[in-house]
Structure 1
Amino acid sequence: MLKGPTTNLAFLTQVLGSDGKAERDLTEEGRRRAAEIGLRKYRDALESDESDGWGRTGARRDGSEYDDDGHEQVPGVKQKWKLLPHFLKLRGLMRQHIDSYDYFVNVDISKIVQAKGNREVLSDVDPKFFLQYTGITVGTPCIEEDDYTVKSITPFQCRLRDCTYSAPLWVNVRYTRGRQIVNKTNINIGRIPVMLLSCKCVLTGKSEAELADMKECPYDPGGYFVVKGVEKVILMQEQLSKNRVIIEYDGKKNISAAITSSTHERKSRCNIHMKNGKVYMKHNSLGDDVPIVVILRAMGATSDQEIVQLVGSEPDIMNAFMASLEDSQSVGVYTQKQALLYIGTKMRVPPKAGARAMRQQSSFRRPLTPEDEAREILCGVILSHVPVVGYDFRAKIVYTAHIVRRVLMTVIDPSTVDDKDYYGNKRLELAGQLISLLFEDLFKRFNSELKRNADMVLSKPNRAAAFDIGKFLEGSTTITSGFTHAISSGNWVLKRFKVDRQGVTQVLSRLSFISSLGMMTRVDSQFQKERKVSGPRALQPSQWGMLCPADTPEGESCGLVKNLALLAHVTSDQETGPVLRLCYDLGVEDVARLSGGEVNGRHSSLVFLNGSIVGATGHPFLLANKIRFLRRKGMVGEFVSVYLHSVRRAVYIASDGGRVCRPLLVVENGRTRLTKTHLDQMALGVLSLQDLIKQGVVEYVDVNEENNCLVGLADGDLTINHTHLEIDPLTLLGVVAGLIPYPHHNQSPRNTYQCAMGKQARRGGGGGGGYS
């Protein structure tokens, strides 16, 4: 059975209380009460008791902690706009691009190099040969002169000399040379372009006087590259979420669940769909559609009763799933071995890959049986974002059964089909993520060249000296030329990941300062601009405060090319380890220890972290409130979002990159936590916006979490049920549309026209004035 939330961390005990009232179970009487007065009022009723819902008796939750001290509430919206300069100073309009690039050069690049398929280079000829990467670092921007001297360089010099503002990539390697094992450090394998004002840029942290000496503008926002002397911007790319389940109609109008798995080792797409009343799985590695029950049996769920409990024991779901159970028996699959053999015979092996595999196996590797090949495919290829350790498929079994359950529920109720245009299902790929994808492809290509060179030399029978692969490491231009060509041309052609995009980068517009800012906040969609479909072009309610409703081009790109709102922020990736440990410390039961009846029980809710099932909890509302409470205390990342989905009975926790979020003022019992004292201290420089975030006065909310919020537009609108307040209504516009005087008095197309023309306005120098 699922238990109440427990914790064994000292800081959680201190923050959440340790007087025995932290476990507040929703009893039958409480559930009836919640059904009568509503979930939100029930929460308020809980918090108005002598215990505040967190186990701390006597705590004041009415906002009077400010009023008792004589702190004056902020009168109306007229004073809240003073927060805007602090937000722009803290985040800036280019902060998301710079943060994503910093994450790539500090964290992501090491993960790519240390991934399972990248960290070692082996030979098909000599089984004793290996090359292993032990580390990678990005150097400082420099240039090699004609006399082979290396000098540091600034962006201004790169613009003048038509060269690329880049830094060297240094790797540490360990490899065999004959019978010796050689360790080498700081080997240059190529160069990577450096984003201006990133952590590797020479301009970062410089004063205005130092920037003037480097001939750089102190107001330049950065976030772009200088390649061959040209300033290039990588536009944000709008994509469907990775590692998430999207329920949609396929080409034959059948209900289908599409899952795009993305890890550093592999990227693949999987479909679980209904066909002729039966559920099948479709994947590129499988030649034909495989019955889903055969997949579950191959993973280890051999009992029909166990499969039914995992999918759902409700009568309507069992009736819809009955034909799929019988389909497994019709193909003669009853055991795990039979299921693995069935999948092994269905596997699709390309001719070239098959010949290469046969050549490898014939040399020194034992060939795999069809059962072992099927097990490897299920372990590391199908739904690869769900980790499988030691061939323990339990977590993947529960995840697959949950997808089947959602497909069957959508067949029963077609209104639950996901909206692909809903912005909570979208992710924005920033410069760091696109550069990361490009580097991963170039690094794999670099390793393939090394392997080909090693095989070519080692295959020669009479060699005068021992083969030293270190000579091939420094001479390659694969990574350097790949980066330069992709950014200068704007073509991201990565056949390995089935990516073929044009126009990813554009020349930075310098018509005016606003023009350059507007270009850097632009969001480009991959939807075909020639198709006359209104859905992706229309304004979505979920875009409120996230995207500018006015700033979009005219013509065929209308509604497909968008711009971020003024205070919108795009998150960068965060480590999931601490959040995962926090979930278990807050009482989430590990999914591997739960039966199907407990997973789909009436009083249990599944807990997801970045699309993967973490476990289940009997207290979803309490879990979400505790995580939000810790986030407002600064103990959890400020961009970690928690979303309660009552229909699916699930808690969705997200810490991945690409989510659009915006800041809101926290409201408790009809009052904001922001006081006039806060504004006065910020004006004096005593308090920063980061302090307000850690104090829980302001918090960032993404599109999904907004569904659990009631946001007021002005102070006069606040009621006891409101959870947040807008900082200022003008922030729903973008940086260009925000310059329009009285935009709410204009016809809507007029604001769109002005967004296009306002970027072309330029003030003349000296006393000339006018436009040019």
Structure 2
Amino acid sequence: RQFDFRTKVVYVAVMVRRMLQAVMDPSKVDDKDYYGNKRLELAGQLLALLFEDLFKRLNADLRKQVDIALSKANRATQFDIVKCIRQDTLSHGLEHAISSGNWTVKRFRMERKGVTQVLSRLSFISSLGMMTRITSQFEKTRKVSGPRALQPSQWGMLCPSDTPEGEACGLVKNLALMTHVTTDDEEVPLAKLAYTLGVEQLGMVMGTEIHSAGTALVFLNGHILGLHRRPAWFATALRRLRRAGRIGCFVSVYVEPGRCHIAADGGRVCRPLIIADGGVPRVNDQHIQELKDGHRTFDDFLREGLIEYLDVNEENNSLIALHESRATAATTHVEIEPFTILGVVAGLIPYPHHNQSPRNTYQCAMGKQAMGNIAYNQLNRMDTLLYLLVYPQRPLVQTKTIELINFHKLGAGQNATVAVMSYSGYDIEDAIVMNKASLDRGFGRCIVLRKYSAMVRKYANRTSDRIVAA
């Protein structure tokens, strides 16, 4: 098997065929901004790359030290390899990369800045928003519209409103409310299962059969597994196994003309949807009542095959209804809740569908700056800078997202009575004239807590410094 190049030859031939098809038909060209073709790098993958690079550096240093020690002619003491190991190579390398944010991996010639950032704790919502942030590797200075544009494939996966203004617009995005980013699943069990379900190895078929009508090449994470004569049946069988819990719930199966793809790699964005049989959702009122009563959890819905996770590519093989009332006989899935297309920060906006689109984007930037409570332990925290509102209030108009993230328990802001009227020349456009009496009574009053550090020394005459409250 080591010198069997037939699979590689077929792969090259498939690539050449795809290129020729793209030349003849421009619609066959892949879109590199399509989100099904993208993978997100998670913290674990980035740390693994860094650790691998540092471990190789440790081994290289160790080898150098051993060569020096063993090359000495007058060596009398017993050689101890433990003394040659530098104990700070791994820890210093990891600490420096995480503290500075500069990721340097020599094997891939990778030099990135700003990989790690200090979590913003100026408000509760800014912390949540920062934890769902996605940063693109595209250069921010380049004025190209493609990577910045709102792609239809981002529906339900990324928030359409929460992106910064200026040069990072469209390049820094945020995950939607129910988005999940996958991690790697094992390939070997999936490959064995595929062969059991009728995938023929390429060594068993003739070249003319590979692209014959009705057949499909089966790919697993981009590698060719073999050929299947009934790709639609094969995809349906794998989906049934996934819903029954026999394979990972994040394994994706989707069929294209002449190709069937199985994706089990990490970094894909996916979201949960209710499965519908003939347009009838599997989740009924009884299930919802059991969920409200606490007898059933989200994982139970997943395990019993009532809902499933779909990634961007598999959504193309599905017909998803926005509401149960809009489902037809051909509908395969129903949305859990339409407002989950928005992210955490955009979900705070009441009636966002009544606003002009840029207004929602502006609010996403400003909502993170609102002062209020940041956590239940805010008075015990040792942050460098802390902004707290003295009289925070719950918003009068609440959204479902506010309840989901418990923002109503840690409010930021106050409910103001606003009169829209022509009062003087000072309140034109965005300016407002404020009532001095309300300010005197504590409207908008805030506290700024700043951390100061001092050394507490002990002296030779057995005295020591004391911190005394002023």
- TM-score (ref. length: structure 1): 0.48
1:609 alignment counterpart: 220
Query: 1:539 touches 1:549 (CA, 8 Å); kept in 2?
Result: yes
What's the counterpart of residue 408 of structure 2?
Answer: none
1:509 is matched with 120
Tell me what 1:732 maps to. Answer: 341
How far apart, in 1, do the equivalents of 2:33 and 2:390 lie? 49
- Partner residue of 1:596 out of 203, 207, 222: 207
Call closer, same or farther: CA 1:554–1:468 in 2, change over 3 Å. Answer: same
2:266 aligned partner, one-letter code: G
Contact 1:606 1:613 in 2 (8 A): yes
Alignment check: 8 A CA contact 1:762 1:771 kept:
no
State yes or no: 1:521 paired with 2:132.
Answer: yes
Give, in angstroms, the shift of residue 600 of structure 1.
2.4
1:412 and 2:24 matched: yes
Corresponding residue number in structure 2 for 1:542: 153
CA distance in 1, matches of 2:14, 2:129: 42
Q: Given residue 391 of structure 2, which amino acid in structure 1 is its aligned partner?
A: G
What residue is the counterpart of 1:87 in the other structure? none
Q: Distance in 2 between matches of 1:701 and 1:434?
A: 25
Contact 1:761–1:771 (Cα < 8 Å) also in 2 = no
Give distance in 2, aligned partners of 1:760 and 1:766.
12
Please tell me the residue identity of whatever aligns with 1:622.
W
Whole-angstrom distance in 1 between the partners of 2:445 and 2:30: 48
Counterpart residue number, 1:570: 181
Distance in 1, matches of 2:445 and 2:316, equals 45
What is residue 392 of structure 1 aligned with on the other side? 4
Q: Contact (CA 8 Å) 2:390, 2:445: kept in 1 or not?
A: no
Please name the residue that 2:311 is paired with.
702
What is the distance in 2 between the residues matched to 1:413 and 1:771? 64
Q: 1:334-733 counterparts in 2 under 5 A?
A: 389-473=1-85, 475-646=86-257, 649-733=258-342
Note the C-alpha offset of 1:691.
1.6
Q: Secondary structure at the match of 2:22?
A: helix
Counterparts in 2 of 1:748 and 1:771: CA distance versus 1, 3 Å:
farther
Q: Percent identity?
A: 60
Give the distance between the partners of 1:684 and 1:504, measured in 2 at CA.
43
Partner Cα separation in structure 2 for residue 538 and residue 509 of structure 1: 27
Counterpart-to-counterpart distance in 2, 1:465 and 1:601 = 72
SS in 2 for 1:550: coil
Match of 1:742 in 2: 351
Give the partner amino acid of 1:608. F
Counterpart contact for 2:148–2:170, Cα < 8 Å: yes
**TM superposition shift of 1:763:** 2.0
Question: Distance in 1 between the 2:126 and 2:83 partners?
Answer: 47
Distance 2:391 2:213 in 1: 74
1:762: Cα distance to partner? 2.3
Q: Residue 436 of structure 1: CA displacement?
A: 0.9
2:376 aligned with 1:768: no
CA apart distance, 1:644: 0.4
Map 1:188-199; keep pairs closer than 5 Å.
none
Distance 1:587 1:421 in 2: 34
Distance 2:235 2:307 in 1: 18
Post-superposition Cα deviations, 1:521-554, rounded to whole Å, max 9, x if no partner, equal: 0000011111111000000000000000000000
**Contact kept in structure 1, 2:391 and 2:445, CA below 8 Å:** no
CA apart distance, 1:438: 0.8
Gaps of 5+ in 2: 374-387, 393-443, 447-470
The 3-state SS of whatever aligns with 2:39 is strand
Task: State how far apart, in whole Å, the 1-side matches of 2:203 and 2:122 are.
Answer: 58
Q: Tell me the SS of whatever aligns to 2:275.
A: strand
The residue correspondences of 1:235-384 to structure 2 (distance < 5 A) are none
| Paired residues for 1:26-45 under 5 Å | none
Render the CA deviation track for 1:65-85: whole Å, top value 9, x for unaligned: xxxxxxxxxxxxxxxxxxxxx
CA distance in 2, matches of 1:630, 1:725: 20
My pick for the range that moved more, 538-547 or 596-605, is 596-605
User: Aligned with 1:623: secondary structure?
Assistant: helix
SS where residue 227 of structure 2 aligns?
Answer: strand
Q: Give distance in 2, aligned partners of 1:748 and 1:425.
A: 27
Query: Number of paired residues?
Result: 381
1:558-597 superposed Cα distances (whole Å, 9 cap, x missing partner): 0000000000110011111211111011111122333322
Match of 2:19, SS state, is: helix
Q: In structure 1, what is the equivalent of residue 434 of structure 2?
A: none
Q: CA deviation at 1:411?
A: 2.3
Structure 2 CA distance, aligned partners of 1:631 and 1:569? 17
Residue 273 of structure 2 aligns to which amino acid in structure 1? L
Output the amino acid matched with 1:549.
Answer: P
Which string of whole-angstrom CA distances, capped at 9 and with x for unpartnered residues, describes residues 400-420 of structure 1?
222122122222223211100
Counterparts of 2:104 and 2:348, CA distance in 1:
38
Give distance in 2, aligned partners of 1:421 and 1:509. 29
Q: 2:178 touches 2:272 (CA, 8 Å); kept in 1?
A: yes
Q: Are the aligned partners of 2:66 and 2:84 in contact in 1 as well (CA < 8 Å)? A: no
CA distance in 2, matches of 1:620, 1:455: 58
Taking the aligned partners of 1:458 and 1:598, their CA distance within structure 2 comes to 61
Compared CA separation, residues 391 and 531, structure 1 to 2 (3 A): same
Q: What's the counterpart of residue 453 of structure 2? A: none
Whether the 8 Å CA contact 2:389–2:445 is kept in 1: the answer is no
Quote the offset at 1:767 in angstroms: 5.7
* Structure 1 residue 487: Cα displacement: 0.7
- 8 Å CA contact 2:276–2:282 kept in 1: the answer is yes
Q: Which amino acid aligns with 2:47?
A: I
1:442–1:478 Cα contact (<8 Å) kept: yes
Alpha-carbon offset, residue 468 of structure 1:
2.8
Quick check: which one's strand share is greater? 1
- Cα offset for 1:766? 8.5
Closer, same or farther in 2 for the Cα pair 1:734/1:462, shift >3 Å? same
- The answer to whether the 8 A contact 1:763-1:771 is kept is no
Cα RMSD (Å): 1.5
1:752 and 2:365 aligned:
no
Name the SS of the counterpart of 1:626 in structure 2: helix
1:668-694 CA-to-partner distances (Å, cap 9, x unmatched) read 111100011111222222222212112
Shift of 1:736: 0.4
Using a 3 Å threshold, how does the CA distance of structure 1 residues 462 and 402 change in structure 2: closer, same or farther?
A: farther
